[in-house]
Structure 1
């Protein structure tokens, strides 16, 4: 996907999430947080700042698992998913990294519709 295609798909995704939850996510971090909550499976509740960061990490691992970068390794004693890095994540500048994640987030949501 080129940058323009990613931007178009991203805006469409934000519109879809807004129609589902009633509020447009502010940025990639907000989407990652929502994915993390979904993947944790405990439903909406108040999370500490550290837990929010952990949820975003869960989301990154989950969306990148679709391309084989991470593999699910079960749950810890508190029921939080564990992931293992299985291949190196490509390096890039900040914009390239953001587009890389956006592309995987878009793919994640598309995979839910199948």
Structure 2
């Protein structure tokens, strides 16, 4: 990824964080916080208390959901407790921590853009 692409992702990310602050009343601290919000949204059970393990599961749901836009995961349905289940459809690109974070941020930005259409 070149510097221009990285800057545009950073700008779009900051804009998204500002929009989320307006929506939820608090600015998400980082990518994990945004993934948690997406997971809660995708689970569809509203704002309830989640255990630490459930919070990790919610972030996994979010990663699967946002990467499904590019065909990395396929939605399989819901388990007996109503949690969405995903299957890896193709390998996720490998990279260093920064490139993986930017890859996820791009998909998160696309996720929210698709909700506004």
TM-score bracket, shorter-length normalisation? over 0.9
SS in 2 for 1:4: helix
Moved over 6 A (4+): none
Give aligned pairs, total. Answer: 114
Equivalence for 1:58? 61
Decide which of 82, 86, 97 is 1:83's aligned counterpart.
86
Shift in Å at residue 43 of structure 1? 0.2
Are residues 1:93 and 2:104 paired?
Answer: no
Decide which of 11, 17, 20 is 1:17's aligned counterpart.
20
Q: Which runs of 5+ in 1 are unaligned?
A: none
State the alpha-carbon separation in 2 of the partners of residues 20 and 77 from structure 1: 31
Instruction: Provide, for residues 48-96 of structure 1, a one-character-per-residue CA deviation record: whole Å limited to 9, x for no partner.
Output: 0000000000000000000000010000110000001001100000000
With the length of structure 1 as denominator, give the TM-score of the two structures. Answer: 0.99
With the length of structure 2 as denominator, give the TM-score of the two structures. Answer: 0.96
What do you get for the CA RMSD once the two structures are aligned?
0.8
